[in-house]
Amino acid sequence: MLLNYKSFGEGQPLIVLHGLFGSLDNWVTLGKKFGERHKVYLVDQRNHGQSFHADSFSYEVMAEDLCQFMGELGILKAHIIGHSMGGKTAMEFTRQYPEKVDKLLVADIGPKFYPVHHSQILKAFYSVPIASLSSRKEADDILANSISDFGIRQFLLKNLSRGGEGFSWKMNLDTIANNIEEVGKALNQNALIKNKTLFLRGGNSDYILNDDFNLIHSVFPNSKVDTIDGAGHWLHAEKPSDFYQKASEFLS
């Protein structure tokens, strides 16, 4: 099945992959900006946004999804930007198909193992009585019991869909919850990925530490790590102009 996507612009292909609980909608503003120089494809990964739901959920299958996506659209080679979970998918894809990747930009995630740290968000999602929900505000009030940050709640509530039958989650919540350990899995540490790569981290985020540089450079010998000061994990949303500037310099 083809992944759901939106495209903008003309030029060299650029594929953007969102993070966990996200969707291509998180990238539309930046996608249009990148579209001034590139043919941009914003993609919903499986079990997210408007892409298909499936029981299997791992970086191997998501890399295969991307390979099929490029094949069906006739994209031979592309730049890839991946944030968080999308960055892990992009790394795995580049490991398997280096010839299909021009430059790789990984936003605020490393190739290392990350312990499960989304339990609170999953519990918050499950605390919402989705079948009997009366309004978006009710969902926000319930999420607020465990997630105090308004911005994070607004990000999570983008997964809420309203149809004729009431509310539902766009994402495949059960499959994500059942496979949450997969999200933190490390890239094969014996991999050697020679594609030109930029790891862009948020200065206020703890996803890429200085201690991680040796591992990053051993797996990605043609890489550099750069920092967006004052940004957290959602660096592209918090500092979009800084993100765009650093990404454009790298991709040009």
What are the start-end ranges of the E strands in the chain? 5-8, 12-17, 38-43, 78-83, 101-107, 160-163, 166-169, 196-202, 223-228
| Range 160-176 burial, b when 16+ CB lie within 10 A, else e | beeeeeebeebbbbebb
* Angstrom distance (rounded) from CA 243 to CA 241: 5
* Angstrom distance (rounded) from CA 197 to CA 180: 27
Ramachandran category for residue 37: left, alpha or beta (phi over 0 → left; psi -120 to 50 → alpha): alpha
How far does Cα 208 stand from its chain's mean position?
Answer: 15
What are the start-end ranges of the E strands in 27-69? 38-43
How far does Cα 193 stand from its chain's mean position?
Answer: 20
DSSP character at residue 18: -
Phi, psi of 202 (to 5 degrees): -85, 135
The pairing of beta strand 38-43 with beta strand 5-8: antiparallel
Cβ count near 68 (within 10 Å): 13
Annotated active-site positions, please? Answer: 84, 174, 233
